[in-house]
Amino acid sequence: MDFLPLFHKLQDRLVLVVGGGEVAVRKARLLSDAGATLRVVAPDIREELREMAAARNGEVLLRDYQPTDLQGVALVIAATDDEPLYAQISAQAQALGIPVNVVDAPKLCSVIFPAIVDRSPLIVAITSGGDAPVLARLIRAKIETWIPAAYGQLAGLAKRFRAQVKGLFPDVQQRRVFWEDVFQGQVAESVFAGKLQEGQRLLEEKIAGIAPRTLGEVYLVGAGPGDPDLLTFRALRLMQQADVVLYDRLVAPAIIELCRRDAERIYVGKQRAEHAVPQQQINQRLVSLAKEGKRVLRLKGGDPFIFGRGGEEIEELAAHGIPFQVVPGITAASGCAAYAGIPLTHRDHAQSVRFVTGHLKDGSSDLPWSELTASSQTLVFYMGLVGLPMICQQLIAHGRAATTPAALIQQGTTQNQRVFTGTLANLAELVAEHEVHAPTLVIVGEVVQLREKLAWFEGAQASV
């Protein structure tokens, strides 16, 4: 181990920054965030750097570095491209026992800047010892996705009760078990859901020995259109902690595999006129599982509030007093259109977009056709494959031009994506010609013609 990781307390301490350019500004931002007072020395200093120094009553010295600048400082940053100068600064600082960082010169450093994940008061630092800083930043980016921003609030909450818990549990092992339960249970989940006061109340009750509530919780999570990379950070976190997963037919297998390995998985998929589990039964199942104290993940393709029946499900949960969270997902319209290279709106072609379901609750398709005929409007039909001939006929009959561009997007955003473009006049024929199957999205509008220029993702198969 070339460097021992330590965290340096710089609050109200003087730090010397030699250099006035962009690199010095980047280092100074971190120092300012840590509460340091800056002494900046350089013949030319950027205005932003001057403002940071002035904000904490620091110094700005418009001249060359002098050895006397080291007096009284706790840390030295050499952010200059003058090689003889930064070698001199390093030698003089280390001779005085002052930690020194020389930018892009690891051999001259006694301390180095890590890549930082800031969830104050929780801080994660990653370093390669200066050998591969880009790799350290890439690892930081991965960790950023694993740690929700609310972890800082959770750490702050724990800080406020740390002494009280220490008094309650003198034994270190007991405290460890207590905090592990807090950080992996309902207290943490309340904080992550933005309910800080509720989290504090639950922690206070836990400390007071009040029995926790026996109800579980339901997570209504949008899984997006298929590509696992389109999941949100919150969706991934809840997927990893749920005890039971109820998932639909449209949820990609690769996404289901991201759920907790030991979670019970229940398939409740639905197809047109063929429901593996009726909707009302799904609603009741969510309630009963939550009443058993389980954390239940209701995983739905796309977004649960856009033709996903999410509203019906949480109505049932609310009626029974079951706690729930809703995590939006990228709906098929935006996800599939983006991967097909079809912008849903465009100043030259479409000033509005309308999402339409291909069939209603009773299986009919009694749509307000006269409202769907504007040439400046993009139409996106969900679940419209079976009724596509009728949809095209009705749009043309009510005034939409038969030559209006239209597209079919099958299994959008996945490696099996296929895109077929035509017009309202021949779109239905493409279904039979190319054996198009669900899940398929239908897009109607002038924006479809932009695909020829903007298509960037084709999946495993060529498009037509």
Q: Is 166:195 a contact under the CB 8 Å cutoff?
A: no
| 270, two tokens | 């639905």
The set of residues, in sequence order, having a beta carbon less than 8 Å from that of 440 and lying 6+ positions away, is 384, 385, 408, 409, 410, 411
Amino acid at residue number 349: H
Q: Is 410:339 a contact under the CB 8 Å cutoff?
A: no
Measured distance CA(353)–CA(159) in Å, rounded: 48
Measured distance CA(176)–CA(181) in Å, rounded: 9
Query: What is the separation of C-alpha 147 from the centre of its chain, rounded to a whole number of angstroms?
Result: 10
Long-range contacts of 107-111 (CB under 8 A, 24+ apart): 108/78, 111/3, 111/8, 111/75
The residue whose two tokens read 């098929």 is 332
Query: What is the separation of C-alpha 125 from the centre of its chain, rounded to a whole number of angstroms?
Result: 21
210, with CB counted inside 10 A (0-12, 13-18, 19+), is exposed
Active-site pick, 248, 262, 300, 362: 248
Q: Which residue ranges make up the annotated binding site for S-adenosyl-L-methionine?
A: 225, 301-303, 306, 331-332, 383, 412
Active site residue 248: yes
8-state DSSP, 438? S
H-run or E-run covering 256: helix 253-256
| Count of positions (residues) in the chain | 464
Q: Which residue ranges make up the annotated binding site?
A: 22-23, 43-44, 225, 301-303, 306, 331-332, 383, 412
Beta bridge partners of 10: none
Output phi, psi for 228, to 5 deg: -60, -25
Measured distance CA(424)–CA(407) in Å, rounded: 9
Beta bridge partners of 77: 17, 101
Measured distance CA(21)–CA(119) in Å, rounded: 28
Q: Is 398:379 a contact under the CB 8 Å cutoff?
A: no
Active-site pick, 270, 348, 366, 453: 270
Beta bridge partners of 89: none
Beta bridge partners of 378: 353
Q: Is 285:266 a contact under the CB 8 Å cutoff?
A: yes
Q: Which residue ranges make up the annotated binding site for NAD(+)?
A: 22-23, 43-44
Output phi, psi for 189, to 5 deg: -65, -35
Q: Is 41:17 a contact under the CB 8 Å cutoff?
A: yes
Measured distance CA(383)–CA(333) in Å, rounded: 11
Active site residue 243: no
The residue whose two tokens read 């907790």 is 260
Measured distance CA(88)–CA(126) in Å, rounded: 28
Q: Which residues are tagged catalytic?
A: 248, 270
